[in-house]
Homo-oligomer: A and B are copies of this chain.
Amino acid sequence: MEENKRPLILVSNDDGAEWPGIRALTRIARTMGDVVVVAPTQHQSGKSSAITIINPLRSTLVEKHHDLIKYAVHGTPVDCVKIAMNALLDGRKPDLILSGINHGPNMGLSTTYSGTVGVVLEGAIHHIPSVAFSIDDNNPKGSLLYCLPYVEKMIKQVLEKGLPDGVCLNVNFPKGAIKGIKATTTAMGYWTAEYDHRVDPAGRDYYWLQGEYVSEDPNDDTTDHYWLQRGYATATPCHVDMTEHKALAHVANLVDF
């Protein structure tokens, strides 16, 4: 970013610009830079890195101040980043992309399904330092009191020290008081009893997603799951490349036919 110029900060989330989490994040970001909020018009929970292909995208200018502009986009969280970068920011490249604050944790395997995290993976693709924030509290009005000072410090640190190229941060906060913050890995695991099976009044089956997350290695003290359960905030560096290099020899053997 140029000297003496306020940083340009792009803010998004997975469920729209009017929720307390993104409003709090925007308030903090605004103290440190010029902010453009580009958020989905509708709930986009569980949208991962989905993009809109079959239909065109539309965006609406919602609010405009000298240091804050808000757009609503009829698409996914990743669509919001893409259309911001390609159209809404008039070619300016953000110095920082922020996502959240999501009510509901995005640690462990949830990282894969999370639209909140999708935003910052897309930021990493565009080589922009990007940080996602989530709190382990599914109540959309749950208190953010304890996590806001950490959000502010994290943003300052990332603006000052940057992130390695292609790496974004997935930050999770416990509900309530925070004992500290740890650099962590993503806990692998699975859900049990994933669907609640019901029958509608016409006798047709339907299924609600539910289930409980089980960490596959609950005693691994490097993971986000481990520390979040113990009252710590977690910051996990993520990248887009899902190649499992360790398996290349096995695959080379498989394709030797």
Contacts and interface: CB of A to CB of B under 8 A. Distances in A.
Interface of A: 43, 45-54, 56-59, 76, 78, 82-83, 85-87, 109, 111-113, 118, 121, 125-126, 153-154, 157-158, 161, 163-164, 166-167, 169, 181-183, 185-186, 188, 190, 193-195, 197-198, 204-209, 235-255, 257
Contacts of A193: 86
A53 B209 contact: yes
Contact of A194 (B76, B86, B237, B255): B86
Nearest to A241: B186
A240 B49 contact: no
Contacts of A46: 50-53
Tell me which of A188, A243, A257 has the highest count of chain B C-beta atoms within 10 A of its own C-beta. Answer: A243
Contact of A239 (B45, B54, B209, B244): B244
A85 to B, nearest CB: 8
**Top 5 A-B pairs ranked by shortest CB distance?**
A237-B247, A183-B251, A183-B252, A48-B49, A48-B48
B209 A188 contact: no
Contacts of A163: 247, 250, 254
Contact of A59 (B113, B153, B205): B205
A151 B57 CA distance: 36
Given A57-B206, A112-B242, 5 more contacts: A46-B50, A86-B195, A166-B244, A169-B251, A185-B243
A147 to B, nearest CB: 14
A126 B211 CA distance: 14
Contacts of A250: 161, 163-164, 167, 237
A138 to B, nearest CB: 11
A58 to B, nearest CB: 5
A192 to B, nearest CB: 10
A53 B57 CA distance: 22
